[in-house]
Amino acid sequence: MKITLKVWRQKDTNSKGAFKTYQHDHVSPDMSFLEMIDVLNEELTHKGEEPIAFDHDCREGICGMCSLYINGRPHGPLQTTTCQLHMRSFTDGQTITVEPWRASAFPVVKDLVVDRTAFDRIQQAGGYINVNTGGVPDANVIPIAKKIADEAFDAATCIGCGACVAACKNASAMLFVSAKVSQFALLPQGQVERKERAEKMVAQMDAEGFGSCTNTYACEAECPKGIKVTNIARMNREYFTAMLSSYQIETKGGGD
């Protein structure tokens, strides 16, 4: 295959970026998208040019690092991670435009690499269980209905890649945050910090500069793990319940 690549090149966060065009004439349909960039980078290195910087780690669709915006869609034309996208999804002679995630909360570090530590700070604000429970109990000590367990597990499959942010015209992180809130809110172990968790994670999300939900379902459509927007509805309920509880405690003077 022969393809034309238009790749966003940017030296650092403070530099002005621009697209640069590359002709790539030795592309196998069986290559993954990242392998294709690897081959291109080898060619650039041999020519004495700066290779294209991009994020990657596991290359197994697990870590969420491979955050590329390809032909106007997060992770490309298929609902999968970039590392699991293969060149057979494109046609010979096609022009492919590759960009980084576009969001003020995800500043470009270099070329296609963005700083997604905003997600880490949201997670650190409340996406955990911090309860002293003593020794580890047997798995079947606390019975959990299969429906609830399945919903919690589905929410926990979020890999934090940021495709939801890239897909949203407001750069909203609601799908990511709602998945992290839901995975604990549904389980007995997460009940002690339930209200505090929702308040703190939503507050941190707003502080990071992410936009509001657009209700267009673009996040769900592009999520490589199929996280559902029903989690956003759950997070909204969790948040408003927490805020109402806090308001009642304040107005009643300590919750008496």
pTM: 0.91
pLDDT band per the 50, 70, 90 thresholds, residue 140: confident
pLDDT score for 138? 74
For residue 235, give the nearest of 126, 78, 83 by alpha carbon: 126
Strand-pairing partners, residue 96, are 5
Q: Which long-range contacts (CB under 8 A, 24 or more apart) does 131-136 make?
A: 131/189, 131/192, 131/193, 133/189
- Domains within the chain, CATH numbers bracketed: 3-110 (3.10.20.30), 117-252 (1.10.1060.10)
pLDDT band per the 50, 70, 90 thresholds, residue 141: confident
pLDDT score for 134? 67
Residue 135 has pLDDT above 80, yes or no: no
Query: What mean pLDDT is predicted for residues 84-112?
Result: 97
Residue 45: Cβ within 10 Å count? 11
Q: What percent of the chain has pLDDT over 90?
A: 86
